[in-house]
Structure formats: structure tokens, C-alpha cells
Amino acid sequence: MDLARKNACMACHGLVHKQVGPGFVQIAERYRNDATAPARLADKIRNGSVGTWGRVIMPRQSLVSEADAQVLARWVLAQQPPAR
């Protein structure tokens, strides 16, 4: 959470709902059963992404270190929907 704040991820991503980018809970649900997701998302966090969720581009986050990207990917994937 601190890393996500520090790297301005929250400027575009909500925790639950879509803002500019998909909500982190939505991302977690989508990749819940995908064993390759942590590595792929870590890569996308650093290199940017487009076309997976829509037409909006996620710019590359080149200031994020490889290690931080791994932590962020795992953090995103660990998000749970709020209890209803």
C-alpha cells in the first residue's frame, strides 16, 4: 500500500472500482488462478500496458525498480473484494 501510494499508482487505479485504470480488486479477480500472473504483471508495471482492459494506456513506470514491481504485482493480486 505504501509503495502503491509512493509510486502514484493510486492516481489512476482505485482499490475496487475502475478509475482511469482497472481497480486492483478487478485485476486480482481476473488473474486469481493464473500462476504466471505475478511475473507478467510485474513486467507490465514497469513497461506499461495497453489493450488488456480497454483503450487507455498505462504508461511505463520506469522509476519503479524490478524488486518493487514484484512486490506491487503480488500486492495487487492479493486484493480481496470488500465484504458485502
Q: For 70, list phi and psi in degrees, rounded to 5.
A: -60, -45
Is residue 17 a known part of a binding site?
Answer: no
List the interface residues with ligand HEC, window 5-64 (CB under 6 A): 7-9, 11-13, 20-22, 27, 41, 44-45, 49-54, 56, 58-59, 61, 64
Using the CB atoms, write b or e for 49-59: b if 16+ within 10 Å.
beeeeeeeebe
Number of amino acids touching ligand HEC (CB under 6 A): 27
The four Cα atoms 11, 28, 76, 38 give a dihedral, to 10 degrees, of -130
Interface residues with ligand HEC (CB under 6 A) are 4, 7-9, 11-13, 20-22, 27, 41, 44-45, 49-54, 56, 58-59, 61, 64, 72, 76
